[in-house]
Structure 1
Amino acid sequence: MFVRKCRTAIKQTTRFYCLVPQRTCKIDVRGAAAMPPVPRLNQQEQQQQQQQQQQQLQPSFERLVFNPHNCGQATKLSEQDKRDYERDNAEFNAATAELNKLQPNEDSIRNSITITNAKANSVANTIMYLERSGLPLKELEKMSIIHVAGTKGKGSTCALVESILREYGARTGFFSSPHLLSTNERIRINGEPLAKHKFTHYFWKVYNRLLESREHDKDMPTFFMFLTTLGFHVFHAEKVDVLVLEVGMGGELDCTNIVPNVRTVGITSLALEHTQLLGNTLEQIAWQKAGIIKPDSNVFTHVTQPECLEIIYKRAAERNAQVIQVLDTQHYLESNLYAEYLDSFNEYVRLNGALAIALAKDWLRQTKGPLQQLQLDDSKMVSKVLRALLNTHWPGRCQLVAYQNMRVHLDGAHTVESMRVCCEWFAKSITASKNNPKILVFNRTGETDVTGLLQELQRTCPFDMVCFVPNVASTEPIDPSQTTVFCGAEKQIKRAHVIAQSWQKLCESNQVPNQAQVYNNVWDAFNGVRKRYPLNVELDVLITGSIHLLGAAISGLNMFRPLEEEAAKKQQEQSQQQQQQQQLESKDKGRSESIS
């Protein structure tokens, strides 16, 4: 009796639908509203839906650059996750836009590096703003820090050090500059960029405190000085075991040089750079870089120029610091019978791996607590270190990305020495694809002479197409993180024309054809490339000259999907042909029936 009553209740409140071949069978039950039949997609609609889903799940260029080992199909977000992502992104962009209003970076650096201008000393000003923002300098004394300066490879050296220490169980902080795509890349916790919602939280906390404590309207830190202050707040609040700190520019008067108790210091390769700011000779450059040496610290370097080493040793002696010259990575691995791994390493590991190992091991010996490793032997490789080197990923440095039938080579080389390394890497890479057209995308901001850089590029290979562009992705509104704080798009385009003229002179001197053209942005450049070379032609592309250009290229290529557009076009053409064929068949059938 009870079962019969329940069945009656169900029948009075429910309507059932059952799908059977060729029709929808509807069973009506009294008292319920009618439901429409389930719509069916035709073949063309199904194909379009499948294509859209496939395109949405394919990895973007950004993902291939930043997460090359995790580029399977993208995880589909729930509607709530999408809303949270959009909100976090909007709030982060608002914070970044506010950050960009601070004094242009180049002007602030020029002022701070002028030794005679005591009022503009960036070290003193950074300390002042740090304390105004609520973080006393004495709190930094409690932090354990590895400080690294240099012309080439300081960022990749820091990335390798951070990876090794993380492998040993340390909770790491890593401050670097500049960023490739997004401002939060500069501040990393355990190897990952600070989450955007956390960046926003810390940004407004520090920014509002500084805004409230101003003594006049312009009394705010500069762009890089603010980010340095913000970074210290984050690392202090996140309670990192060790902070790997990359110098912004120079060393002696760099904003990062406020840290008092550094026991482990690194100085990477040196070359002439930013000569209008740091000096016109290698000795002057070395003096600036050696300015981060602290009393009683251990200073590790693979600098080779005798004149630079003399300055480093002299400044170290003044502060009772010990200088240790590090072997190159190849000799280090060969002495440890690990030479077979050399081909597995990225170029930056080959160049800076041994220095990073020395820095990490020195910190592990000197630190206190459970992370201390007193028995480490500098002359021996261990599995943890090898694993860390193999797993380190530092985007945009001698990086090869396969995308849209292009082998895209990314490197931010901006000195003659680093460009030579970049060109050697590119030349080695293209030996396996000799028949591919070779494309160069280049920019170099600032007023420095680019002739040396261009000469290295011309020696590398005969480029089939050369694109000089500003650091601008496309005509779309510029992402706040990609806003160039010291050089607008119009000025950059003029600069691109100047570079193109230098290239023309070199072509005439070397008696080679000039394949160069200036484009307004990266998107236009790649459109020009694909107009010349069909989509079925694989290309070898080298993008170099500026880290900022790499960011614009990543943004531009993120939106540049000609293969998918071509596939969609072909699919549409096929669908139209099928429809026309069906119409013809239908007409023929109608005629046959009328005749019979």
Structure 2
Amino acid sequence: MSSSSSFDAAIAAIFQRQPGRMVPDLDRITDLAELLGNPQTTFDTITVTGTNGKTSIAAMLASLCTAAGLIPGSYSSPHLQSVTERIRVAGVPIAEEDLARHIAYLQPFLDVVDPRHDDTVTFFEVLTALAILHFVDVPVNVAVLEVGMGGTWDATNVVDAAVAVIGRISLDHPELGPTVADKAAEKAGIIKPGSFAVCAAQEPSALSVIRDRADAMDAVLKIEGVDFELLGRAAAVGGQQVDLQGVGSTHNEVFLPLYGRHQAVNAALALAAFEAYHRFEVELDPELVREGFAGAQVPGRLEAIPREGQSLIVLDGAHNPAGIASLAAALTQDFAFERRVAVLGILEDKDVEEMVQALAPAVDHVVAVAPDNVRAGDPSRITAVCDQLGLSCEEADDVDHALDLADGVTRPSDGVVVTGSLFLVGEARELLGLDPA
């Protein structure tokens, strides 16, 4: 069997494990890890949670680690085009043959663990184990793990992370509870005994829960706006320059090749987390910080795709009201478009009304489309909200058709933004001929 065929067969096998529901426990991943000899204990770990920004923060942290001469592994979700994007070493995705090899190695262990539990090992749990195996195989010095959902019962919480990073928390994923405080309680579960934690600015109810968890775990907690912060930012070609106040030092005019104030705030959080990894005992070299942030790449998050003679395309995977609000602010503040057309596709379980309302002030026209996903929402829901808001809208059959419709109403001075779902962004990247990131 060719390496490509082996990869396809291996991926097909683990995709069959995708659950129809979340299973709130760590029983299977813990059992699997113990059977494997607890490989997650062989390297340092930083765990990143939050409602939005996890992938960006993790990418910045991995880049800072690389600049420091470390070999970082990073694990994120979901992927845009290929599952290999989820597992990286120093920013480079795992090779297909390595992923297939790890799956083959893992299968006998899965055969043992599956019958021991009411639910079989899930897709995400398998991928988490694969990431850990790959990081041991390389080997890496430190792993930056992005939580899939929540924190306490997420498979990544099988590790005892030295550093916990909690980004902004907002209302998304009803599985985690009806209030921001409920969601904070789940996410704060990544704070482990004697660890270090850094936390973005939060609503008072959420921050109270996080403080209580840190106190109970005897963890050192640093908070945005109290211990570190974004001091300022300015537009720059290909991104922005940011001034960051860390816990222990200030770094001015740092180039960040990402757009949006929210990414500048994420950079402040990543800097504090990197200081936490050094136990707040090391004054960071300014050149290391500059190199680290300059190397951060986060495809599908305000990713600008230029096209000769046509409007610029911006790909952004914002998929909840808070994410869309950050996108809308960036479109008006960071890009000099005359008009903006949104290709918008939203999953069925998302708050369509709030998302469209948040995006409406920043766009002149909407092309509604269904992402190619079993959870895709009906584009007519988007159209209905646009009609209520007096925002012009039309529906497309698929993403290819949607981009054609957007091009039909834009000029080179305008912008097209593809958003509402990371699945939609992945489809657009494929159609635009972009390689998996």
Q: Structure 1 length normalisation: TM-score?
A: 0.65
Task: Give the C-alpha shift of residue 212 in structure 1.
Answer: 6.0
Q: Secondary structure at the match of 2:115?
A: coil
Choose the corresponding residue for 1:558, options 418, 423, 433: 433
AA in 2 matched with 1:328: E
Assess if the C-alpha contact under 8 Å between 2:314 and 2:418 holds in 1.
yes
Task: Map 1:24-39 onto structure 2 (within 5 A).
Answer: none
Assess if the C-alpha contact under 8 Å between 2:342 and 2:363 holds in 1.
no
Say if 2:362 is the partner of 1:460: yes
- For the residues of structure 2 that align with 1:334 and 1:244, how far apart are their CA atoms? 21
Assess if the C-alpha contact under 8 Å between 2:50 and 2:187 holds in 1.
yes
Of the structure 1 ranges 330-339 and 548-557, higher mean CA displacement relative to structure 2 is found in: 330-339
Task: Give the C-alpha shift of residue 455 in structure 1.
Answer: 0.8
- For the residues of structure 1 that align with 2:119 and 2:355, how far apart are their CA atoms? 39
Task: Map 1:105-184 onto structure 2 (within 5 A).
Answer: 107-109=20-22, 112-113=23-24, 121=25, 123-131=26-34, 134-137=35-38, 139-184=39-84
- The alpha-carbon distance between structure 1 residues 163 and 467, as it changes in their structure 2 partners (threshold 3 A), is same
AA in 1 matched with 2:55: G
AA in 2 matched with 1:558: G
- For the residues of structure 1 that align with 2:132 and 2:257, how far apart are their CA atoms? 35
Task: Give the C-alpha shift of residue 499 in structure 1.
Answer: 2.7
- The alpha-carbon distance between structure 1 residues 330 and 410, as it changes in their structure 2 partners (threshold 3 A), is farther
Task: Give the C-alpha shift of residue 338 in structure 1.
Answer: 5.1
AA in 1 matched with 2:426: G
Say if 2:304 is the partner of 1:400: yes
- For the residues of structure 1 that align with 2:210 and 2:117, how far apart are their CA atoms? 41
Task: Map 1:280-295 onto structure 2 (within 5 A).
Answer: 280-295=178-193
Q: Which residue of 2 aligns with 1:56?
A: none
Q: Which residue of 1 aligns with 2:243?
A: 333
Choose the corresponding residue for 2:168, options 266, 269, 282: 269
Task: Give the C-alpha shift of residue 426 in structure 1.
Answer: 1.1
Structure 2 unaligned segments of length 5 or more: list them. 233-241
- For the residues of structure 1 that align with 2:409 and 2:106, how far apart are their CA atoms? 50
AA in 1 matched with 2:300: G
Of the structure 1 ranges 495-504 and 353-362, higher mean CA displacement relative to structure 2 is found in: 495-504
Say if 2:383 is the partner of 1:506: no
- The alpha-carbon distance between structure 1 residues 258 and 542, as it changes in their structure 2 partners (threshold 3 A), is same
**Structure in which a larger fraction of residues adopt helix:** 1
Assess if the C-alpha contact under 8 Å between 2:58 and 2:146 holds in 1.
yes
- For the residues of structure 2 that align with 1:198 and 1:425, how far apart are their CA atoms? 38
**Structure in which a larger fraction of residues adopt strand:** 2
AA in 2 matched with 1:456: A
Task: Give the C-alpha shift of residue 341 in structure 1.
Answer: 4.0
Assess if the C-alpha contact under 8 Å between 1:442 and 1:544 holds in 2.
yes
Say if 2:315 is the partner of 1:410: yes
Assess if the C-alpha contact under 8 Å between 1:349 and 1:389 holds in 2.
no
Q: Output one character per residue of 1:231-288: Cα deviation in whole Å (capped at 9) or x when no partner.
A: 111112222100111111001111111113x22111111111112x011111101111
- For the residues of structure 1 that align with 2:37 and 2:250, how far apart are their CA atoms? 48
Choose the corresponding residue for 1:497, options 362, 370, 380: 380
- For the residues of structure 1 that align with 2:230 and 2:96, how far apart are their CA atoms? 36
Assess if the C-alpha contact under 8 Å between 1:444 and 1:450 holds in 2.
yes
Q: Output one character per residue of 1:29-70: Cα deviation in whole Å (capped at 9) or x when no partner.
A: xxxxxxxxxxxxxxxxxxxxxxxxxxxxxxxxxxxxxxxxxx
Say if 2:325 is the partner of 1:420: yes
Task: Give the C-alpha shift of residue 214 in structure 1.
Answer: 4.4
- The alpha-carbon distance between structure 1 residues 244 and 406, as it changes in their structure 2 partners (threshold 3 A), is same
Q: Secondary structure at the match of 1:403?
A: coil
AA in 2 matched with 1:94: A
Q: How many residue pairs were aligned?
A: 417
Task: Give the C-alpha shift of residue 165 in structure 1.
Answer: 0.8
- For the residues of structure 2 that align with 1:529 and 1:415, how far apart are their CA atoms? 22
Say if 2:293 is the partner of 1:389: yes
Task: Give the C-alpha shift of residue 391 in structure 1.
Answer: 1.6
Q: Which residue of 2 aligns with 1:91?
A: 6
- For the residues of structure 1 that align with 2:212 and 2:118, how far apart are their CA atoms? 39
Task: Map 1:167-206 onto structure 2 (within 5 A).
Answer: 167-206=67-106
Q: Which residue of 2 aligns with 1:255?
A: 155
Task: Give the C-alpha shift of residue 87 in structure 1.
Answer: 4.7
- For the residues of structure 2 that align with 1:237 and 1:338, how far apart are their CA atoms? 35
- The alpha-carbon distance between structure 1 residues 497 and 251, as it changes in their structure 2 partners (threshold 3 A), is same
Q: Secondary structure at the match of 1:503?
A: helix
Identity %: 27
Task: Give the C-alpha shift of residue 217 in structure 1.
Answer: 11
Q: Which residue of 1 aligns with 2:399?
A: 522
Task: Give the C-alpha shift of residue 441 in structure 1.
Answer: 0.8
Q: Output one character per residue of 1:472-514: Cα deviation in whole Å (capped at 9) or x when no partner.
A: 3xxxxxxxxxxx4xx26xxx2x52222322322332xxxx5x3
- For the residues of structure 1 that align with 2:84 and 2:119, how far apart are their CA atoms? 24
- For the residues of structure 1 that align with 2:73 and 2:353, how far apart are their CA atoms? 38
Say if 2:274 is the partner of 1:364: no
Assess if the C-alpha contact under 8 Å between 1:523 and 1:557 holds in 2.
no
AA in 2 matched with 1:363: Y
AA in 2 matched with 1:495: D
Q: Which residue of 2 aligns with 1:76?
A: none
**CA RMSD, 1 decimal:** 2.6
Q: Which residue of 2 aligns with 1:37?
A: none
- The alpha-carbon distance between structure 1 residues 401 and 423, as it changes in their structure 2 partners (threshold 3 A), is same
AA in 2 matched with 1:552: E
Q: Structure 2 length normalisation: TM-score?
A: 0.87
AA in 2 matched with 1:93: D
Assess if the C-alpha contact under 8 Å between 1:159 and 1:394 holds in 2.
yes
- For the residues of structure 1 that align with 2:114 and 2:415, how far apart are their CA atoms? 52
Q: Which residue of 1 aligns with 2:259?
A: 346
Q: Which residue of 2 aligns with 1:20?
A: none
Assess if the C-alpha contact under 8 Å between 1:409 and 1:426 holds in 2.
no
- The alpha-carbon distance between structure 1 residues 136 and 446, as it changes in their structure 2 partners (threshold 3 A), is farther
- For the residues of structure 2 that align with 1:392 and 1:402, how far apart are their CA atoms? 19
Is the radius of gyration larger for structure 1 or structure 2?
1
- The alpha-carbon distance between structure 1 residues 401 and 293, as it changes in their structure 2 partners (threshold 3 A), is same
- For the residues of structure 1 that align with 2:54 and 2:45, how far apart are their CA atoms? 15
